[in-house]
Amino acid sequence: MLKLGIRVSTITSRGKGHLRRCLAIRKNLQGNVFWFIDYKDTILEKEIAQEDNILYENGPNEFGKLKKFIINNTLNTILIDSYTINYNEITKVKNIPIVIITDEYVKVKANIIICPQPLKLKYIDGVRYLSGPKYAPISDEFYYDKKEKENKIILVSFGAFDSFGITLNVIQAIKNIFFNKKYDYKVLITLGNDSPIIQQVKSSIRMFSNFKLIIDSPNMKKIYSKSILSIGAPGLSFLERLSVGLPSLLVAQNNKHMKLIKTWVSLGCAIKASNTVKSIENNLKKLLINKDTRTNIINNGINIVDGEGSNRIAEEIEGLIKNND
pLDDT digits (tens, 9 = 90+) for 81-90: 999 999 999 9
Measured between alpha carbons, how far is 151 from 63 in angstroms, rounded to an integer?
Answer: 46
pLDDT tens track for 286-319: 999 999 999 999 999 999 999 999 999 999 999 9
Residue 114: burial class (beta carbons within 10 Å; 0-12, 13-18, 19+): buried
Residues near 206 by beta carbon (within 8 Å), at least 6 away in sequence: none
The DSSP string of 114-137 is EE-SS------TT-EEEESGGG--
d(C-alpha 175, C-alpha 247), whole Å: 20
CA distance 138 to 148: 24
How is residue 108 annotated by DSSP? -
pLDDT of residue 15 exceeding 80, the answer is no
Range 128-151 average pLDDT: 87
pLDDT digits (tens, 9 = 90+) for 227-283: 999 999 999 999 999 999 999 999 999 998 999 999 999 999 999 999 999 999 999
Cβ atoms of 113 and 130 within 8 Å: the answer is yes
Runs of H (alpha helix) within 270-308: 277-289, 291-304
**What is the b/e burial string over 234-259, where b = at least 16 CB atoms within 10 angstroms of the residue's CB?**
bbbbbbbbbbbbbbbbbbbbeeebee
**What are the angstrom distances between the C-alpha of 168 and each of 147, 152, 199, 231?**
33, 21, 11, 12
Which one, of 10, 61, 22, 6, lies nearest residue 194 by Cα? 10
The pTM (predicted TM-score) of the whole model is: 0.92
| Class of residue 233 by CB neighbours under 10 A (exposed 0-12, middle 13-18, buried 19+) | buried
The CATH number for 153-304, chosen from 3.30.70.250, 3.40.50.2000, 3.40.980.10, 3.40.50.10490, is 3.40.50.2000
Question: According to the model, what pLDDT value does residue 45 have?
Answer: 85
pLDDT class of 210 with cuts at 50, 70, 90: very high
Q: How confident is the model at residue 150 (pLDDT cuts 50, 70, 90)?
A: low
Strand partners, 249: 231, 271
Q: Which of 242, 227, 222, 220 is nearest to 299 (CA)?
A: 242
Question: How far is Cα 17 from Cα 33, in angstroms, rounded to an integer?
Answer: 19
Q: Domain 3-139+307-324 - what CATH class?
A: alpha beta
- Residues forming a β-bridge with 99: 79, 112
Tell me the average pLDDT of the chain: 93
* Banded pLDDT at 148 (limits 50, 70, 90): low
Res. 224: pLDDT tops 90: yes
CA 69 to chain centre: 28
CATH 3.40.50.11190 residue window(s) in the chain: 3-139+307-324
Delimit the CATH 3.40.50.2000 region(s) of the chain: 153-304
Taking the C-alpha atoms of residue 92 and residue 85, their distance in angstroms, rounded to an integer, is: 13
Q: Which long-range contacts (CB under 8 A, 24 or more apart) does 54-61 make?
A: 57/7, 60/9, 60/11, 60/14, 60/84, 60/85, 61/85, 61/86
- Cα 118 to Cα 267: distance, rounded to the nearest angstrom: 9
Mean pLDDT of 12-39: 92
Q: Determine the pLDDT at residue 19.
A: 94
Tell me: the pLDDT tens digits for 154-169? 999 998 899 899 999 9
Could you tell me which residue, 138 or 182, shows the higher pLDDT? 138
Q: How buried is residue 7: exposed, middle or buried, by Cβ count under 10 Å (0-12/13-18/19+)?
A: buried
What is the DSSP secondary structure assignment for residue 13, as one 8-state letter?
Answer: G
